[in-house]
Amino acid sequence: MTIAGIHHITAIASDPQRTVDFYTQVLGLRLVKLTVNFDDPGTYHFYFGDEAGTPGTILTFFPWPGVPRGEVGTGQVVTVSFEVPIDSLDFWFKRLHDRSLYIGAAEERFGDPVVRFQDPDGLWLELVGRSRVADRRVHVAGGVPPEHALRGFHSATVSERETVRTESLLELMGFTKANEEGHRIRYRAAGPDASIVDVLHEPKTPRGGLGGGIVHHIAFRTPTDREQEQWRLNLTGQGYEVTPIVDRVYFHSIYFREPGGVLFEIATNPPGFSVDEPVEHLGEQLKLPPWLEDSRAELERRLPALTRSAQVAK
């Protein structure tokens, strides 16, 4: 029993409208689910991904209006990386440059070219050029041609002051050490896509702090509820404090802290984002879990307005 790879990554943003505009109209992702934070229903929860909302493509946000920018540091996922066709990097570099986004120095990592940049809240993102990319139902939005579309996650990078116990946990979860370059250690899961976690050994870097532009947690995917329950038993048996299984409507979740402090989640692939609206209309309406439907009118009054053009990426 092994983890196939990343299911989704959730970050914090400070402006709901700006977040939707950036990820749909600049990066060309689809808003596959417009809902609320089930634990804090006074705020939205946005899910962005490919055409069908496939696990391994989903970047989600808690947009808390006006939240101060966080501090990047250890105990965090410090970079979210997407893969694109290698011939698309010139297109993306020009597109990001034309929109005055902060772009880091070009680099090569484990043989792949990488473009680093930040979203409007300062979240570090990367585009990794690959000669062979995942075969996905890409979404066409914001003027991004389908041949240049993001193809889901390539990897996530975590920063740790001490890596040994984190590496042991990844190995327990079925990851294998694939490579090492300087202070970066690459682990790969069993699945073919969205399967890489890079661990940065940064013993002198201060611990990070939550806020805008910071990843809240990373979720790994498992195919069934039965395997998720087994993971819960296995992790609890290894001394981890694991939550009970939580119903997130579109998947079921368990949460625990890895030794360095990053919040890990293991989420099921089913039921998926089409459980309450057809794939053709994902993200077009505010969807609420059954236990919040009676509060719909109140929540819609409290939530910031979003323009229709941003909700439905064209």
Instruction: Supply 177's token pair.
Output: 């050490």
Alpha-carbon gap, residue 289 to 250, rounded angstroms:
10
Instruction: Supply 50's token pair.
Output: 């490919």
Bridge partners, 181 (sequence order): 184
Q: What is the pLDDT of residue 312?
A: 43
Q: What is the pLDDT of residue 1?
A: 80
Q: What is the pLDDT of residue 208?
A: 98
Q: What is the pLDDT of residue 106?
A: 82
Q: What is the pLDDT of residue 308?
A: 60
CATH, residue 223? 3.10.180.10
The percent of residues in the chain predicted with pLDDT above 70, rounded, is 98
Number of domain units in the chain:
1
Domain limits at 118? 5-311
Flag residues of the chain having pLDDT under 70: 308-314
Judge whether 37 and 248 are in contact, CB under 8 Å. no
Alpha-carbon gap, residue 188 to 198, rounded angstroms:
9
Name residue, tokens 């002198």: 204
Q: What is the pLDDT of residue 35?
A: 98
Alpha-carbon gap, residue 155 to 79, rounded angstroms:
8
Q: What is the pLDDT of residue 136?
A: 84
